[in-house]
Amino acid sequence: MQYEVFQNISKIIERDSKATTYKFALLRGVIDIIQDNSPYITISNDRVHFPIGLLIEKWLMYYYPILESSINIPQINGETNLAFETQLKKIITEYQTIGGLSAFYNDLKNKGIPKNLQADFFALAKKLKVTITTMPMKYIGRSISNDYYSIFQFESGNAKRNTTEIDLEFLINTSGSFSIPFDYYEAFKVLGSFINGQDAILFKWAEFSVNASDKKLSIEKVVNEVLKSPITEREIKASKKFYEDILAKQKFVECVWTGEKITSYDVDHVIPFAVWKNNDLWNLLPSRPKTNNQKRDKIPSSAFIESRKAEIIHYWDLINEYQSQRFQKEIRVALLGNNLNSDWQHAAIKQLKSSCDYLIANRGYQEWKI
């Protein structure tokens, strides 16, 4: 198994398009099928093949409770709906009074979909297949390759209704198949439960706490508490206000990324707050609003940081002049460590570039440069 495959999986999770949750549902579904050790999995020509019907089943189980929930849980950016939302909501409505998700799943697995619902279910299954094969399967891997279907490939099957029994076996036999490279299959076998969360450290931590409380707590409650950040919106605003007070003493402000003199600016996190919840003063630099919007959650390349080194150091020196105690403490912990020589600025730039390289190459975040 190649280390490159693990890097690619990390890049796919972090960098591939996130306009919808389809990518996550596809990866989760494939991993779940592998973890189930399905007898339908076959290996040939260095690729591992799966029935698309099993993936349709997984998506039904993932999205049914989300769309049934009284809480709005967004699954797509913007005002549009999921491609199959109308069809799935029809099924959800029909099952509301006859047992909900459990009854639906029992029909799908054992009894077969009732005849009065078969047309609606058939339309839903077709829509799910089209969505899966033309959206996430097509685009997953675009962060590491310019090719479509670079990792997932599919073969269409005969989806005609030639039987009165509409169930999971019908989906498996008529929806075609898809395949992934053998190396990815092996990686998902090893890391799948960690990627999907069942064996993730946070989940296990929460599970332990729930059991230790004699089930008085829920997994959701514990996870929410464990994930709380010490940096709140209030602290972010306070840091930005302090930084703006420093800049107000200057005759003009230059955008750190373009060098343009600007009268209005955003206080940008060099390493985005969404990536690293760091509100240190060294990580806050003035940026032209348009440039900041273009950067968003991308990571500056080390070459770009090097090209803007003089401007970054200028602002670091400025902050150090006005708030040396806080600034020096923060930059020592984050960038300098024990490297406290007189040339601290260049040592900090070197570590900043190293951190950005790591986030791009190993964590898969998108590189940014002008």
Give the chain's domain count: 3
Over range 199-219, report the average pLDDT. Answer: 85
Confidence (pLDDT) at 234: 60
Is residue 180 pLDDT above 90, yes or no? Answer: yes
Both 212 and 308 in one domain: the answer is: no
pLDDT in tens, 43-73: 999 999 999 999 999 999 999 999 999 888 8
**151 and 115 within one domain:** yes
Determine the pLDDT at residue 161: 54
Question: What is the tens place of the pLDDT at every residue in 298-338?
Answer: 999 999 999 999 999 999 998 898 888 989 999 998 899 87
- Clarify whether residues 57 and 187 are in a common domain: yes
Q: Could you tell me if 250 and 137 lie in one domain?
A: no
The average pLDDT across 80-105 equals 95
Sequence-distant contacts of 137-143: CB under 8 A, at least 24 apart: 137/26, 137/178, 139/16, 139/17, 139/23, 140/12, 140/16, 140/23, 140/26, 140/27, 141/8, 141/12, 141/16, 142/16, 142/17, 143/11, 143/12, 143/15, 143/16, 143/364, 143/366
Question: In terms of residue numbers, what domain contains 224?
Answer: 197-228
Let me know whether 52 and 173 are in one domain: yes
For residues 247 and 333, membership in a common domain is answered with: yes
Same domain as 202, residue 192: no
- Note whether 105 and 38 are same-domain residues: yes
* CB-CB contact of 335 with 351 (8 Å): yes
Smallest Cα–Cα separation from 84: which of 144, 159, 20?
20
Q: Are residues 154 and 46 in the same domain?
A: yes
What pLDDT, on the 0 to 100 scale, is given for residue 160?
57
- Name the domain boundary from 174, 196, 218: 196
d(CA 153, CA 177): 9
**Tens digits of residue pLDDT in 115-139:** 999 999 999 999 999 999 999 999 9
Domain end marker among 145, 178, 196: 196
The model's pTM: 0.76
Q: How far apart are the first and last CA of the chain?
A: 36
Residues 309, 221 within the same domain = no
Based on the domain organization, do 19 and 102 belong to the same domain? yes
Last residue of a domain, one of 176, 211, 228: 228
Same domain, 283 and 313: yes
